[in-house]
Structure 1
């Protein structure tokens, strides 16, 4: 870990905006602006530039393979293309595999929603998608047992992520997740789907009940509040990953500078809540490169994949909000 590392908010902002413009002019139309920014953030977080021609071609391939009658709308399709490209899975066979995984999840009992497509992307990590999908359905049912009114179709993504773990005892996975859920709720976090994802993040990172994670998240929240950052449910998952990545290190002024820089961008006028979520996620991705050897060796799940998952969840929410706005 480089103790002299300083986060450059200006450079991060420029890279994000450059990728945004490339996605915007890629020829893939009718994408919600928030989705474009989330896709741009995937590449900016990796210090990469999106290839607009490839983005267009993979989007076209999804349309070709799925045809007209599908739950996959333009926002979700573009989001999946971004996720595939950012994780070096931007190939034709990856498109076919995502579609195949989607059908596998439907056969396992999940509903036909945009969230199921994001879960299908996560199933790319599985060596046996059919078994993992069945395991995920069992986990989802256990979630529903604990939270019958809270657990909905969007929780398919968290269920699949947990199912990808080597731990076969699904009751243990659900129990550990419930522990984090209740502990964070006791700290004042709102009981909603965002808290469910934060709780899942704890299970994915530690694999067991660990009060250290609770304390670190609590410390990060307090640190951000002292810096004038208001914490909303949209930020929960990013904060959980950030708390792990920072490993007790202090958050430098770069994060607040990034929030301010992004807020001043002409295309980012969605309100501070969305901008803050985007900034925390981007800051976390950059800081993850400074993790210690001990942190990396102890990981149960790849942090970059976890951050991508957090982005998938954010994209799901943004896509759903866009669909709701379009139908109202």
Structure 2
């Protein structure tokens, strides 16, 4: 399936979702539709709708899962598990345990729980403790920009082997290097630094140089390089997709021309990058090159970023448990 066909499939899935959930934030459904395409899983509108309703019914009256985040959670569970309802019950247990361990009740904790759901349940306590330690170390380095929306990437970073101090030092080395090369300080720079830290094959200097070069290429290709797009630079750097910039622009323009999508141009750019990068998961050459310890974890990082950005604003005004 070509990347253009993937984009059209995503649009079609979104339309089916939108038909049944007209009052839901379009961005949430756009992201949910992209999950099916990235994971290359078939979409059944009735099954998906039933799962969304099941999640709502199984959640407490004040739970974030009764808000729009359930549409994202349903897509995630439906594309990763043969029995998503059973997986949801495990997911709830993981979230509750995270709260007991010291994570705060936020929509980002639910997103982090999705990432942690992949782990062996017998190892969850250790993973949670390590994730909290990573988060606290991140906050000690950047107290003014580290917040609960960094939970998901803290979990992903904690899944890497090695001493935590070494992981944090590497992330800070990338952060400082990118800043010295023109990247603006702030949460988006911290995020791309976290993402690039997931690549354990290349040294920090190499990753900084690649990201800087890619940023220049994007500018030359008339593609945005605002700080909000640093995660996209990170994904393209990790997959070394420097020859696919025209595809990204083409898919972005295709989405910008769609009736519903045209109002969310920044998200369209993110989705275009995600669709192009997702093809790397299908290419044996990527795995053979030993570029990453786990391409799936890298893709989870990008999906987490989009999900967090889409649901964060929608959930911020709601109380939750």
Mapped to 2, the partners of 1:288 and 1:218 lie a distance apart of: 24
Given the alignment, which residue of 307, 318, 326 partners 2:310? Answer: 318
Superposed CA offset, 1:156-207 (max 9, x none): 111111122233x111111111111221122222222222221111121226
Structure 1: 5+ residue runs without aligned partners?
1-6
Given the alignment, which residue of 221, 244, 247 partners 1:254? Answer: 247
Superposition TM-score, scaled by structure 2 size: 0.90
User: Which residue of the partner structure matches residue 234 of structure 1?
Assistant: 228
CA contact (8 A) 2:115 2:300 kept: no
The question of 1:281 aligning with 2:279 is answered no
CA contact (8 A) 1:23 1:50 kept: no
User: Which residue of the partner structure matches residue 218 of structure 2?
Assistant: 224
User: Which residue of the partner structure matches residue 142 of structure 1?
Assistant: 137
Given the alignment, which residue of 103, 119, 130 partners 2:112? Answer: 119
**Number of matched pairs:** 317
CA contact (8 A) 1:101 1:120 kept: yes
Given the alignment, which residue of 187, 190, 197 partners 1:193? Answer: 187
Superposed CA offset, 1:249-290 (max 9, x none): 522522211111111011112243221111111111124433
User: Which residue of the partner structure matches residue 17 of structure 2?
Assistant: 23
Mapped to 2, the partners of 1:296 and 1:107 lie a distance apart of: 41
The question of 1:69 aligning with 2:44 is answered no
Please state how far the C-alpha of 1:313 moved relative to its aligned partner. 2.1
CA contact (8 A) 2:67 2:315 kept: no
CA contact (8 A) 1:58 1:81 kept: yes
Mapped to 2, the partners of 1:90 and 1:171 lie a distance apart of: 38
User: Which residue of the partner structure matches residue 79 of structure 1?
Assistant: 72
Alpha-carbon distance change, 205 to 268 in structure 1, aligned in 2, over 3 angstroms: same
Mapped to 2, the partners of 1:323 and 1:294 lie a distance apart of: 37
Alpha-carbon distance change, 103 to 208 in structure 1, aligned in 2, over 3 angstroms: farther
Given the alignment, which residue of 280, 290, 301 partners 1:309? Answer: 301
Structure 2: 5+ residue runs without aligned partners?
none
Moved more, 263-272 or 116-125: 263-272
Mapped to 1, the partners of 2:275 and 2:116 lie a distance apart of: 24
Please state how far the C-alpha of 1:45 moved relative to its aligned partner. 2.5
| RMSD (Å), alpha carbons | 2.4
Mapped to 2, the partners of 1:48 and 1:233 lie a distance apart of: 32
Alpha-carbon distance change, 312 to 29 in structure 1, aligned in 2, over 3 angstroms: farther
CA contact (8 A) 1:245 1:291 kept: no
